[in-house]
Amino acid sequence: MTDSFYALVPAAGFGARMGQETPKQYMPLAGRPMIYHALLTLCGNAEITTVFVVLSSEDTLWRTFDWSTFGDKLQPLYCGGQTRAESVLNGLLASELEPEDWVLVHDAARPCLSALQLTRLLDELRNDDVGGLLAVPVADTLKRSDAMQRVEHTESRASLWQAQTPQMFRTGLLVQALQSIPNVTDDASAIEALGLKPKLVSSDTSNFKVTYPQDLQMAELLLQHGNIK
Ligand code: CTP
Ligand code: MG
C-alpha cells in the first residue's frame, strides 16, 4: 500500500497583528491574495492528493477570487474555529481523511514555502513513526528580560529551533492530540504533549510567517525574485 498525502491550510484568522481591515491571508502580495502563494506550492506537489483550506464560516472573500487554476485539488471547508488549533481540528474532522493518511498542516501566512522545502519534508518523514516539521536553528543570541525590559541573563541557543510549517503527522494521531491538548500554538506541541518526539527537518528563514506589516515587503521581494519557488 502506498502512502497518501494531504495538505490542510488553516486560514480562518483575522491577522490582528497586521492591523488591517482585510484578513491577512487575503492581503495583496506579489499580485495575488497572500494565501495563493502557499496554495500554489502545495497544489504543485504531485504527491499531495487534496489541499483543504479551513475558512471562517463568515468568510465572504474566498469566493471573490478565481481559484480555478487549482481545479478539484483545492477544497474549501467553512469550519474555522476560535483558535488556530481549533481550526485545524475542525478541518481534519470535516476532511474525512483516514487515520493513516499523512496530513501536512501549513499556515496561509507562510507564502514563501518553496517546492524544495516541501519535498525535503516529505522525503525525510515518509518513513517516520511520528512525523515532524520544518524548522530553523536559532541564529541570534537570546536574552531573557526582567519586568523593566532589562537583560536578566543570556540564554543558550544551543539545540533551539524556530518551528515553521508544514507540520506533517498521521491524521488519526493529530486528531487525537488536538482533542486531548487543545491549547497549543502549533500542531507539533500537541503531539509532544502525548509524549512523542516530532522530527525537526532543516529549513531556512525564507519560509517565515508574515505577521506584521513590515513582513509584507520581505515576502514580496522573495516572491518576486522567483528563485525560491
Ligand atoms: N488561523 C485559523 N483560525 C484561527 C486563527 C488563526 O485558521 N482562529 C490561521 C491563520 O489564518 C493563519 C495561521 O492560522 O493562516 C497562523 O496564524 P497567525 O499567523 O497567528 O494568523 P492570525 O491568527 O490571523 O494573526 P494574528 O495572530 O496576528 O491575529
Ligand atoms: Mg494568531
Hey, where are the domains in the chain? 5-224
Give the Å distance between the CA of 2 and the centre of ligand 2.
35
At residue 228, the pLDDT reads 54
Distance (angstroms) between ligand 2 centre and the Cα of 92 equals 19
* E-assigned strand segments in 44-188: 48-55, 74-78, 102-105, 131-137, 142-145, 151-155, 161-170
C-beta of 206 in contact with ligand 1 (< 6 A)? no
Q: Give residue 1's pLDDT.
A: 58
Determine the residue type at 204: D
Residue pLDDT tens, the chain, 229 long = 578 999 999 999 999 999 999 999 999 999 999 999 999 999 999 999 999 999 999 999 999 999 999 999 999 999 999 999 999 999 999 999 999 999 999 999 999 999 999 999 999 999 999 999 999 999 999 999 999 999 999 999 999 999 999 999 999 999 999 999 989 999 999 999 999 999 999 999 999 999 999 999 999 999 998 655 4
Cα(178)–Cα(90) distance, integer angstroms: 10
Q: Minimum-distance ligand to the CA of 82?
A: 1
Q: Is 209 in the pocket of ligand 1 (CB under 6 A)?
A: yes
Q: Is the CB of 16 under 6 A from ligand 1?
A: yes
Nearest ligand to the C-alpha of residue 61? Answer: 1
**Topology (CATH) of 5-224:** Spore Coat Polysaccharide Biosynthesis Protein SpsA; Chain A (3.90.550)
∠ at Cα 62 (65, 99), nearest 5°? 125
pTM: 0.97
Cα 212 to chain centroid, rounded: 17
Ligand 1, residues 37, 84, 208: which to mutate, most atoms within 8 A of Cβ? 84
Indicate if ligand 1 lies below 6 Å from the C-beta of 88. no
- Amino acid identity, position 13: G
Q: Quick one: pLDDT at residue 138?
A: 97
Per-residue b or e along 158-189, where b marks 16 or more CB atoms closer than 10 Å to that residue's CB: eeeebbbbbbbbbbebbbbbbeeeeebebbbb
